[in-house]
């Protein structure tokens, strides 16, 4: 059987790193098995769903190189949900409820006050036909619940958590349809998994109780449930991630100049026993993906770690991969010279300006100006090739007896205006003879 996974975002906000981690893991699971990865847009909530967020989700996945094999939209599949609803209704597995949100909240508070679990008491099932008719005559539109079979224990072998068991009597019958006829998550998701042939559902552990109800839902619809795996949630500095954390949205991270490979490297391994390391090739992530390495503890998303990984990724990027993102005029030699000092590609412009722009000469004391005057004389006489820096410093060391910081720092400051930076051996040929001499003379005061 072909492995088929899916990622099912609701287009009510931008995807954050927690969503992307779910998408990535489902994609990796499918690719590891030479299967298919599907994108399902869960846009049944017409009031909150926005087309802009659909486009944003596509852009985010494309940026990461997560390409779905097909895409479906729940808003185009309502006929399937109606048919499934009718089937369940005829089988007595769904029933109308008339309580208001306030009445349900009051019931929960009473139960909690008595030390009881806050589950639905199935009060609607006790209503007679006349009582239901009276409520509807009052203009009360019922919401609909799926009736769990309390005589049928629920269990499955979770791909991460191992054997999972639920007593259905300890669960509330889930609401599957609102009073206005709109759908909630549970039934459409189960119907789509059946119709789309989904074999594996990998999602957050906050869905475990949903899975328990859906296991019975699959059976009631005459279908086998997919294999389920529930991973520990990703948390940030403030706890559980949410769509409100715009700074951790994929768009925000992309606009900060972070590389997709850095985010993939971090999200692929967070929550597993495998080391988090900078990995450029997605094939490596696919090959190493293994649900048995996933742990149960919440995985903490650390932005500082992401920045470190990004720097390591940038240091490996070949010029061909960044050629369209670096400053005009920068060639491969320029990129390779400044690359070790970058944490982001967009920082290349700052260092290229050191090569091609003007440098403010540092203020030097008389002793240093005399040293730099000697440097000008030496620089005028050396061969200006890829070994220019070595030739310059070797000659000055012999003439002045200087070494270490005293030898190198005044030269770097004069040539770049900085105390630190890229390797001068690679940078000096890029600066060029005429510009270098001009900068040395300026620093020497002449």
Residues 6+ apart with CB under 8 A from 27: 5, 7, 37, 66
In angstroms, the CA 128 to CA 119 distance is 22
Single out the residue of 47, 45, 57, 61 nearest to residue 13, CA to CA. Answer: 57
In angstroms, the CA 27 to CA 6 distance is 8
The two tokens of residue 59 are: 């852009």
In angstroms, the CA 377 to CA 392 distance is 10
147 is in an annotated binding site: no
> Counting runs of H as helices and runs of E as strands, what totals does the chain give?
19, 13
Check if the beta carbon of residue 234 is closer than 8 Å to that of residue 271. Answer: yes
Buried b (16+ CB within 10 A) or exposed e, 120-139: bbeebeebeeeebeebeeee
User: CA 179 → CA 79, 81, 247, 252, 370, distances in Å?
Assistant: 18, 16, 36, 37, 87
Which residue positions form the known binding site?
243
Which residue positions form the known binding site for ATP?
243
């Amino acid at each position: 059987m072909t492995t088929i996974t899916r990622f099912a975002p609701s287009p009510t906000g931008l995807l954050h790193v927690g969503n992307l981690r779910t998408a990535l893991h489902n994609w990796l699971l499918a690719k590891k098995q030479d299967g298919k990865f599907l994108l399902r847009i869960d846009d049944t909530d017409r009031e909150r769903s926005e087309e802009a967020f659909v486009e944003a989700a596509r852009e985010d996945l494309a940026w990461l190189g997560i390409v779905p094999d097909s895409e479906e939209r729940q808003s185009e599949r309502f006929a399937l949900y109606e048919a499934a609803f009718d089937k369940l209704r005829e089988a007595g597995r769904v029933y109308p409820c008339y309580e208001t949100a306030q009445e349900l909240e009051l019931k929960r508070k009473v139960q909690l006050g008595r030390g009881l679990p806050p589950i639905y008491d199935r009060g609607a099932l006790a209503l007679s036909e006349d009582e239901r008719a009276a409520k509807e005559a009052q203009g009360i539109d019922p919401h609909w619940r799926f009736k769990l079979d309390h005589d049928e224990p629920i269990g499955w072998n979770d791909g991460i958590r191992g054997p999972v068991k639920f007593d259905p009597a300890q669960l509330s019958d889930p609401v599957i349809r609102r009073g206005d006829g709109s759908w909630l998550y549970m039934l459409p998701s189960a119907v789509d998994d059946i119709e789309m042939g989904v074999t594996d559902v990998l999602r957050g552990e906050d869905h475990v109780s949903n899975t328990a109800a859906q296991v019975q839902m699959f059976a009631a619809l005459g279908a086998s449930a997919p294999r389920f795996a529930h991973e520990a949630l990703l948390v940030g500095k403030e706890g559980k991630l949410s769509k409100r954390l715009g700074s951790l949205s994929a768009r925000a991270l992309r606009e900060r100049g972070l590389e997709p490979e850095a985010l993939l490297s971090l999200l692929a391994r967070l929550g597993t026993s495998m080391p988090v390391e900078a990995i450029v090739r997605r094939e490596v992530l696919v090959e190493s993906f293994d649900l048995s390495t996933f742990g149960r503890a919440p995985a903490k998303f650390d932005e500082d770690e992401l920045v470190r990984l990004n720097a390591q990724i940038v240091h490996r990027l070949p010029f061909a991969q960044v050629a369209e993102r670096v400053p005009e005029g920068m060639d491969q030699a320029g990129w390779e010279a400044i690359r070790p000092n970058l944490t982001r590609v967009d920082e290349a412009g700052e260092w290229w300006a050191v090569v091609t722009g003007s440098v403010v000469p540092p203020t030097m004391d008389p002793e240093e100006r005399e040293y730099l005057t000697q440097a000008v004389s030496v620089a005028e006489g050396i061969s200006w090739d890829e070994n220019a820096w070595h030739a310059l410093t070797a000659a000055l060391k012999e003439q002045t007896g200087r070494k270490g910081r005293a030898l190198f720092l005044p030269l770097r400051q004069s040539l770049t205006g900085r105390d630190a930076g890229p390797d001068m051996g690679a940078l000096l040929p890029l600066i060029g003879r005429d510009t270098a001499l001009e900068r040395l003379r300026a620093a020497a005061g002449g």
